[in-house]
Amino acid sequence: MLKQRVITALALMCVLVPALLSDSQVPMTILSLTLCAVGTWEWGRLNGLSFTGSGVLGGVCSLMCAASWHYEILLVPNYYFWLICTALWVLVASALLRLGPTRWLNIYLPLRLVAGVWALFITWLAIYQAKAMSINFLLSIFALVWMADIGAYFFGRAFGRRKLAVNISPGKSWEGVWGGVFAVILLSWVWVLIDQSRLGITDFSEIPNQIMLEQLSLFSLLGRKGLFIQILALIFMVSMSVVGDLLESLVKRSVGAKDSSKLLPGHGGVLDRIDALLPSLPIAMFWSLI
């Protein structure tokens, strides 16, 4: 199993890294569109659709992304759009976690399907806009989610005592969540120092123009708002990345599935890899535009 996980992870990185580092928008746009389409197909399967029906659902998400890209719809960052998306994520996720896995299937099926398609569409949209801002910005969002997951895993293994959501994901603990927060704050501090060194500044108020501002990472953009806001925002983002993970676990538990699919040997499915990114990317866009 470990060998499979490593091989799959390396293969994914061989695709992700060139697309991420490319100066062109096209590779990352196509890659993220593909992943979101496959994720939508998995969402359909988890919610009881047939293979063909799930394929149609994935096609709908693909067409939404492609139409937005081709006709340049919603491609320009808008504060109010991402504010609404953030509010919806917080409100809907809170309600669903309170319902628990036993009542998930009682929700009207078309409503569940639309919610999944919309969540994956705005994830693609956030990736497009974040990449357009800068590679540094998009990479910092990915790194935040990855570091939160790593910190939660090791702190949870070492100190985990109080269960976070035993009926949804028994392995998660409150100590793991705070370990993820600590790891992300540490990462943020290092990343900000690197940004300052790269730009040759000691204070972000010294940034002379919009071009340099657009080269900043998420951590540095938050740092411009003050230490208190920066830490508060990071805690919120780590919390919502955990919520994304919990929501996918809730859906899988409600239907008795271990993974969203078997497409990625050793890792499960696409949704299993991007669940924490689904809320994190839209919320990062919101924070960047305040």
Render pLDDT for 233-289 as a digit per residue (tens, 0 to 9).
999 999 999 999 999 999 999 999 999 999 888 788 999 999 999 999 999 999 999
pLDDT of residue 205: 64
How many folded domains does the chain comprise? 1
> Within a domain: residue 159?
yes
Position 29 in a domain = no
pLDDT of 209 strictly over 90 = no
Residue 132 pLDDT greater than 80, yes or no:
yes
Query: Predicted confidence band at 103 (pLDDT cuts at 50, 70, 90)?
Result: very high
What is each CA distance from 114 to 60, 61, 117, 137, 249, in whole angstroms? Answer: 10, 10, 5, 29, 19
* Residue 25 counted as domain residue: no
116 located within any domain: yes
The phi and psi torsions of 280 (rounded to 5 degrees) equal -65, -40
Q: What is the pTM of this model?
A: 0.95
Say yes or no to pLDDT of 162 above 60. yes
Q: Which residues of 232-241 are buried (b: 16+ CB within 10 A; e: fewer)?
A: ebbbebbbbb
Angstrom distances, CA of residue 209 to CA of 77, 174, 206, 219 = 19, 42, 9, 18
Domain that holds residue 213: 76-289
DSSP states of 164-191: EETTTEEEEEHHHHHHHHHHHHHHHHHH
Under 8 Å between Cβ of 252 and 96: no
Tell me: pLDDT of 214 over 80. Answer: no
Amino acid at 132: A
Whether 180 is in a domain gets the answer yes
Residue 134: inside a domain, yes or no?
A: yes
Q: For tokens 């499915």, name the residue.
A: 269
Rounded to whole angstroms, the maximal C-alpha distance in the chain is 57
Domain-embedded: residue 33: no
242 CB burial (10 A radius; 0-12, 13-18, 19+)? buried
pLDDT at 101: 93
Task: Examine residue 235 and state whether it is found in any structural domain, yes or no.
Answer: yes
Residue 125: pLDDT over 60: yes
